[in-house]
Amino acid sequence: MFEGCTNLADVTFSDTISYIGHDTFKDTKWFENQPDGMIYINDIAYRYKGEYNGDGEFIIKEGTVGISAGAFENIKGIKSIVTPKSLYEFNGGECIYCDDLESITFLNPECRIDYILVDDNIFPDIDYPSIYHGTIKGYDGSTAQAYSKGQGNEFIILDSSISGIKGDANGDGTVDIADVVAVSAYVADFSKNSLDEQFIKNADVHNTG
């Protein structure tokens, strides 16, 4: 919509925005002025800016309800994406050209999943290589499991008691270095790296509150 409007520097967003299209703010001053990392517009994960220097796992913050198409386009080094319980829809283009992606975790067992694409071909059922063939993680009986069965993806069932695992700060069912990264990011800037209330409790391994 505003792609190429190089002088566009100030944007006011309505609270009712439910979708932001691919490259809407590409090559604008507004985009250039945003800090590196995932750019969130209200409760939408719009686009990752700059180079990714994490451990390979990217956790989309809790409260996010939508992800723009191309949000991770041409971002190297992201091998795993964890979507929050608040995400209600996955349209297909969110992970296009995220070439290192190996797994996607869906924490919302009822998240609507249309397609998961690796490029922007608009006819995924015709051009089969466009479909994501990596691992999908989710709960038993979830939409993620049904999608995986239909598309032939490897599906890993998350522990249904995941929310109560001490030390599991990112909700992936295990306790490892990724949880340390999640807690460190939250402490550094909780406004940009929020954690679900239960995951904050999980991180409090000494029960100090």
Residue 110 lies in a domain: yes
Q: Determine the structural domain holding residue 18 and report its residue range.
A: 1-119
Give the chain's residues under pLDDT 70: 1-14, 16, 18-19, 21, 120-129, 160-166, 173, 206-209
Give the list of residues 6+ apart from residue 5 with CB closer than 8 angstroms, or none.
27, 28
Burial annotation 172-190 (CB, 10 A radius, 16+ → b, else e): bbebeebbebbbebbeeee
Looking at the structure of the chain, the number of domains it has is: 1
Residue 202 lies in a domain: no
Residue 136 lies in a domain: no
pLDDT at res. 139: 92
Residue 30 lies in a domain: yes
| Residue 139 Cα distances to 66, 161, 170, 174, angstroms | 20, 10, 15, 14
pLDDT at res. 128: 45
**CATH code of 61's domain:** 3.80.10
Whole-number percent of the chain with pLDDT over 90? 31
Tens digits of per-residue pLDDT, 119-144? 765 554 544 447 888 999 999 999 99
pTM given for the model: 0.71
| Residue 115 Cα distances to 106, 110, 125, 133, 158, angstroms | 14, 15, 9, 11, 21
